[in-house]
Chains A and B, each alone.
Chain A
Amino acid sequence: MSTKNNLTIAEKTAKLDELVAWFDAEDFELERALDVFKEAEKLAREIEQDLQGLKNNIEIVKTKFSETE
Chain B
Amino acid sequence: MEKPTSLQFSVSDFIALTNQTLEYAYPSVEVEGEVASFKVNQGKYVFFDIKDAGGSIGCFMTVWQLRVPIEDGMKVIVTATPKLTQWGKFSLTVRAIRPSGEGSLKKSFDILRAKLDQEGLFAPERKRPLPALPRQVAIISSTQAAGYADFIKILNDRWGGLELRVAQVQVQGAGAPDQMIEALKYFNSGEVLPDVIVLIRGGGSADDLSAYNDELLVREIAASRVPTLVGVGHENDISLADMVADRRAATPSNAAQILVPDKMELIRSVRRQVGSMLPRTEQAIERRRQEIYDQLRRSVSAIDRQVNQYDQQLAGIARVLAELDPRKVLARGYALVRGDIKPGVMIEIEKHDILIQAEVRHVNKK
> Residue B164 contacts which of A34, A56, A63, A68 (CB distance < 8 angstroms)?
A56
Considering only residues 1-36 of chain A, those with a C-beta below 8 Å from chain B are: 1, 9-10, 13, 16-17, 19-20, 23-24, 28, 30, 33-34, 36
Per DSSP, chain A at the interface is helix
Q: Which chain B residues border A60 with CB–CB below 8 Å?
A: 143, 166, 168
Query: How many chain A residues touch B (Cβ–Cβ < 8 Å)?
Result: 37
Give the shortest distance, in Å, between B350 (CB) and chain A (any CB).
Answer: 70
Q: Measuring CB to CB, which residues of chain B are less than 8 angstroms from any residue of chain A?
A: 133, 135, 143, 152, 155-156, 159-170, 174-175, 178-180, 182-183, 186, 263, 266-267, 270-271, 273-274, 276-278, 280-281, 284-285, 288
Residues of A within 8 Å of B277, CB to CB, are 19-20, 23, 36-37, 40
A23 to B179, alpha carbons, bound, how many Å?
55
Measured CB to CB, the closest approach of chain A to B184, in angstroms, equals 10
Residue pair A55, B161 in contact (C-beta under 8 Å)? yes
Where the two chains meet, the residues of A that have a C-beta atom closer than 8 Å to any C-beta of B are 1, 9-10, 13, 16-17, 19-20, 23-24, 28, 30, 33-34, 36-37, 40-41, 44, 47-48, 51-61, 63, 65-66, 68-69
For B271, the chain A residues whose CB sits under 8 A away are 44, 48
Question: Are B278 and A16 touching (Cβ within 8 A)?
Answer: no
Taking a contact as CB atoms closer than 8 A, the residue among B167, B175, B183, B270 that contacts A47 in the complex is B270
Beyond the given A51-B160, A61-B168, A65-B180, could you list 18 further A-B residue pairs with CB under 8 A, ordered by the A residue number?
Answer: A1-B135, A1-B161, A10-B133, A23-B277, A37-B274, A37-B277, A37-B281, A48-B270, A51-B266, A57-B163, A57-B164, A58-B166, A59-B163, A60-B166, A61-B165, A68-B170, A68-B174, A69-B170
Q: CB within 8 A of B273: which of A16, A28, A30, A55?
A: A16
Residues on B with C-beta less than 8 A from A44 are: 270-271, 273-274
Distance of A68 Cα from B271 Cα, bound (Å): 52
| Chain A residues, CB < 8 A from B284 | 23, 28, 30, 33
B160 in contact with A54 (CB, 8 Å): yes
Do residues A59 and B164 form an inter-chain contact, with CB atoms below 8 A?
Answer: yes
Q: A65 to B176, alpha carbons, bound, how many Å?
A: 10
Residues of A close to B166: CB separation below 8 A: 58-61
Q: Which residues of A contact B267 (CB under 8 A)?
A: 47-48, 51
